[in-house]
Amino acid sequence: MPSKQRVSYFYQPDVGHFYYGPSHPMKPHRLKLTHHLILSYNLYRHMECYRPHPASVGEMTSFHTDEYVQFLHKIHPDNLRHYQAGMAKFNVGEYTDCPVFDGLYEFTSLYTGASLDGAVQLNNGDTDIAVNWSGGLHHAKKSEASGFCYINDIVLAILELLRVHARVLYIDIDVHHGDGVEEAFYCTDRVMTFSLHKYGDFFPGTGHSRDVGAREGSGFSVNAPLTSGMTDESYIALFTPVLEKIMGVYQPGAIVLQCGADSLAGDRLGCFNLSLKGHAACVKTVKSYRVPTLVLGGGGYTIRNVARCWAYETSILLDREIENQIPYNDYYEYYAPDYELHLQPEIARENLNTEGSLT
């Protein structure tokens, strides 16, 4: 029997305190809900738990431009009028989906530091699976915020993994295309990206199946553009054989798995119809290859379901069965009226993905 995989969990208690604003769908508060489920299910007892370091400006500029990172470092809600040009240039501010809020730079440094710490542990052979649910902000570009994302912790973590590993595979099961990560590595064969996402009149509008990479990276970007109503059965039937082919041909030394929970049924911004079990089946499949893996969060805008998803996926990574009845915790009322872990797909939502469109 193969040995049990070691799991490290990275969580900074302050990361859930930040607030994008009253009408903004991104709620870092979901990270507190997730953490409290992990505590109340006693999952923390079965993994090494770490408080990560905040990423420095120097660490962030291994991908992002110095000018952009310095801008994020300086700007706050009280000095916006001094930075009008910068806000337009870097796609930040009230007319974008990336607002300036109190502690913006600190927030980016906390979630980024956790991803970097996970990558370093994997590189050092100190763990087999590193988990940072606060990371996975896949839309941020080299010198531009995008889609609620400011610093691309994924790209930075992959760059860290590339110090040790010749090839890294990035997998993205968020409902939105992982455009920032794909763009960063579009012209190299050292990183393969595999993204399943809603495509067509949907943010960010990229990720066609014909987008396969360029120059040395040609053939190393794999996109599965989907439409609304994706079910567990359809999703797994697509994900599993494609991943099997990628693993056999590419043979990565490390994997980064972005587990955006906006592909779940009932998400505020998403349009897929996955259950927790369908979403987590992808996590289980990736884990089965026993390759050093960094597991990250991402999107997810019905926050009670985000917490359900990531707590359940933590149990999958640990090979621990957990009860469907949610244990009492500080945020118990969020799970009313049934107080159950698993959620049902929406019966009324039609799967518009046909067998023909999925082949």
Report, as residue numbers or ranges, the catalytic residues: 139
Q: What is the three-state SS of 203-264? A: CCCCCCCCCCCCHHHCCCEEEEEECCCCCHHHHHHHHHHHHHHHHHHHCCCEEEEECCHHHE
Helix axes 104-124, 66-74, angle to 10 degrees: 130
Is residue 297 within 8 A of residue 177, CB to CB? The reply is no
Is residue 135 within 8 A of residue 157, CB to CB? The reply is yes
DSSP state of 309: H
Q: Residue 160 corresponds to which amino acid? A: E
Q: Residue 262 corresponds to which amino acid? A: D
State how far the Cα of 121 lies from the Cα of 294, in Å rounded to an integer: 10
State how far the Cα of 219 lies from the Cα of 153, in Å rounded to an integer: 24
Element (H, E) at 67: helix 66-74
Look up residue 252 and give its two tokens.
């990565």
Is residue 254 within 8 A of residue 294, CB to CB? The reply is yes
Residue 294, strand partner residues: 130, 256
State how far the Cα of 115 lies from the Cα of 54, in Å rounded to an integer: 10
State how far the Cα of 36 lies from the Cα of 33, in Å rounded to an integer: 5
Q: Which of 20, 38, 9 is nearest to 331 (CA)?
A: 38
Residues 6+ apart with CB under 8 A from 327: 40, 41
Peptide bond into 204 cis (omega under 30): yes
Sheet holding 129-132, edge to edge: 48-50, 7-10, 129-132, 293-296, 254-258, 168-172, 191-198, 221-226
